[in-house]
Amino acid sequence: MEKGSNNTRRSFIKTAVTGTAVVTFGGILPGFSAKSYASILGANERVRVAMMGVNARGLALATNFAMQPNCEVIYVCDVDERAAQKCIAKVEETQNKKTKAQPDFRKALEDKNLDALVVAAPDHWHAPAAILASKAGKHVYLEKPCSHNPHEGELLVAAVDKYKNVIQMGNQRRSWPNVIAGIKELHNGIIGRPYFAKTWYTNNRKPIGIGKEAAVPSWLNYDLWQGPAPHKAYKDNVIHYNWHWFWHWGTGEALNNGTHMVDIARWGLKVDYPTKVSSNGGRYHYKDDWETPDTQIINMEFGHDKFISWEGRSCNSVPVEGSTVGVIFYGENGSLQIDGSNAYKVFDLKGKLLKEVKDDTKVEATSLTNPSQVLDAYHLQNFFDAIKKGSFLNSDIISGHQSTLLVQLGNIALRTGTSLNINPKNGRIIDNPEAMKYWSRAYEPGWEPTI
């Protein structure tokens, strides 16, 4: 950029605000930091956000939001005092501006200057927090899965319809350029008619042991951490990450990681709700408190001509099709594979590689917190554009609910030991009262989410 050229500078800043150059060069333009951009852009051009849940994935998200020149993190909300202080320090270092600690996100929602809530708290909080934010007139960036159970997903769809706010689900690959290009090629017929999508995720997670009841740590507001979930005594092997593997708070590997690739599969096959869902699996590797499956297969049928499968292995990371995470579409004339990176491959019917589109951007697919910061900024900018300009959301809440529901149905099929017949018009289970018991959940009195 030529020094003293105000027109050129304004052009670059405009590009940054729309999200193009922001992410092309690793988050921000070369020669500028988030701090310098923050001093250039007017306050009314920035989206002011509150971060809810910043211990792991939330810390990575907070950093990424703070890096964006058209965003300002004004609240950090966490029930863990240690996590909050660590995040505040990181955010202030990144955006060169003070942010506030507000342990109870509901109080942050009272601020008329707040534009959006970013929800990265545990799964049982996702939909209830997003609904409270919607009622408060705020937009929401909602980490996947969008809900703990199908009823909450339906409530989210109803909330957007009522309050007319923006809710973007954090299935970030919907905004990765080469993933978008690969799906476009699929839709344009590069492998003929696609009819089967195989998806998978593998990892080597350690056992979580047998938890013991203990005193609540001084740094933790445990009542607020539990929030809408019926309250239980504190145990020493749940917080932080292990809550994923308890049905009371989490949703297992299927929703933790399966949501991402099942979403791409649904997108690629152009399907909405299934007609039949079945699942098998269990906790096979270790004998501990882990309740959800560490090994699971979910099969989803869409009429008689489309089919998706998901394979999850939490305790054996041997790759599938050369990758620890991915989706491969099979069609009349070949196959198209998208793994955990911003890339895709096309094969003929005999497995010969016909085309490969790569991206040098590093993605650590097995990272628990921040596998793809640079690429994820595309998704953040899409969220900002939807707020500021009414642009099309790459992952609106209807789409997010549909993809989340697929793996929720898989978990329900597993837990009931039945094959589920599904109404393809709305995704609801047909003639299975036992399975419908899992459609919603019990809530702590006074915490029931309502629209």
* Domain-located, residue 109: yes
pLDDT of residue 92: 96
- Tell me the C-alpha distance between 274 and 384, whole Å: 32
360-374 mean pLDDT: 63
Number of Cβ within 10 Å of residue 3's Cβ equals: 6
The pLDDT of residue 28 is above 80: no
Does position 161 have pLDDT exceeding 50, yes or no? yes
Residues 63 and 196 occupy one common structural domain: no
- Pair (427, 344) in one structural domain: yes
Is 101 in the same domain as 209?
no
In a 3-state reduction of DSSP, which class is residue 358? coil
Question: pLDDT value at position 259?
Answer: 98
Confidence grade of residue 4 (pLDDT, cut at 50, 70, 90): very low
pLDDT: is 2 or 182 the higher one?
A: 182
At residue 16 the predicted structure's pLDDT band, cuts being 50, 70 and 90, is very low
Parallel, antiparallel, or unpaired: how do β-strands 100-101 and 71-77 relate?
parallel
Asked if residue 303 and residue 432 are part of one domain, the reply reads yes
Q: Which of 122, 149, 173 is where one domain is finished?
A: 173
**Is 389 a domain residue?**
no
pLDDT in tens, 251-303: 999 999 999 999 999 999 999 999 999 999 999 999 999 999 999 999 999 99
Domain assignment of residue 443, yes or no: no
- Show which of 173, 198, 217 is a domain's final residue: 173
Please work out, in degrees rounded to the nearest 5, the angle formed at the alpha carbon of residue 192 by the alpha carbons of 190 and 198: 90
Q: Do 233 and 299 fall within a single domain?
A: yes
**pLDDT of 138 strictly over 60:** yes
Kindly state the average pLDDT of the residues 149-169.
98
In this prediction the pTM is: 0.90
Across 11-20, 73-82, 386-395, least confident range:
11-20
* Residue recorded with tokens 């009195």: 445
Determine the pLDDT at residue 209. Answer: 98
Distance of alpha carbon 208 from alpha carbon 226, whole angstroms: 20
Is 209 part of a structural domain of the chain? yes
77 has pLDDT over 50: yes
Same domain, 83 and 150: yes
pLDDT for the residue numbered 11: 37
Does 25 have pLDDT greater than 50? no
| Two tokens, residue 79 | 């029930």
Q: Is the per-residue pLDDT at 178 higher than 90?
A: yes
Shared-domain flag, residues 161 and 186: no
Q: How confident is the model at residue 430 (pLDDT cuts 50, 70, 90)?
A: very high
Of all residues in the chain, the percent with pLDDT exceeding 70 is 88
Residue pLDDT, tens place only, 326-343: 999 999 999 999 998 999
Mean pLDDT of all residues in 72-86: 98
In the listed set 107, 142, 173, which residue is the last one of a domain according to the structure?
173
On the question of pLDDT at 191 being above 50, the answer is yes
In this structure, what CATH number is given to the domain that contains residue 317?
3.30.360.10
Verify cis geometry, omega within 30 degrees of 0, for the bond prior to 449.
no
Please compute the mean of the pLDDT values over residues 388-411 and round it to a whole number. 97
Averaged pLDDT score across all residues of the chain = 91
Would you place residue 43 in the very low, low, confident or very high pLDDT band (cuts 50, 70, 90)? Answer: low
Question: 408 vs 238, 262, 326, 397, 415, CA distance in Å?
Answer: 22, 11, 19, 16, 11
CA pair distance 22, 116, nearest whole angstrom = 20
Q: How many domains does the chain have?
A: 2
Residue 396 reports pLDDT greater than 60 = yes
CATH of the domain at 143: 3.40.50.720
Residue whose entry in the numeric block shows the structure tokens 């697929």: 406
Structural domain includes residue 204? yes
Return the pLDDT at 15: 40
Residues 6+ positions from 332 with CB-CB distance below 8 Å: 191, 192, 193, 195
- Say yes or no to pLDDT of 372 above 90: no
Question: How confident is the model over 302-306, as a mean pLDDT?
Answer: 96
Same domain (yes/no): 85, 102:
yes
Whether residues 302 and 428 share a domain: the answer is yes
User: Is 274 among the domain residues?
Assistant: yes
Task: Decide if pLDDT at 127 tops 50.
Answer: yes
Neighbour order of strands in the sheet with 71-77? 100-101, 71-77, 47-52, 116-119, 139-142, 167-169
Assess whether 134 and 149 both reside in one domain: yes
- Asked if residue 212 has pLDDT above 80, the reply is yes
In a domain, 378, yes or no: no
Structural domain that includes position 128: 6-173
Report whether pLDDT(12) > 80. no
Do 137 and 52 lie in a common domain?
A: yes
Q: Are residues 183 and 153 in the same domain?
A: no
Give the mean pLDDT of 26-42: 45
Q: Is residue 384 part of a domain?
A: no
In the chain, % of residues over pLDDT 90? 86
CB distance 167 to 147 below 8 Å? no
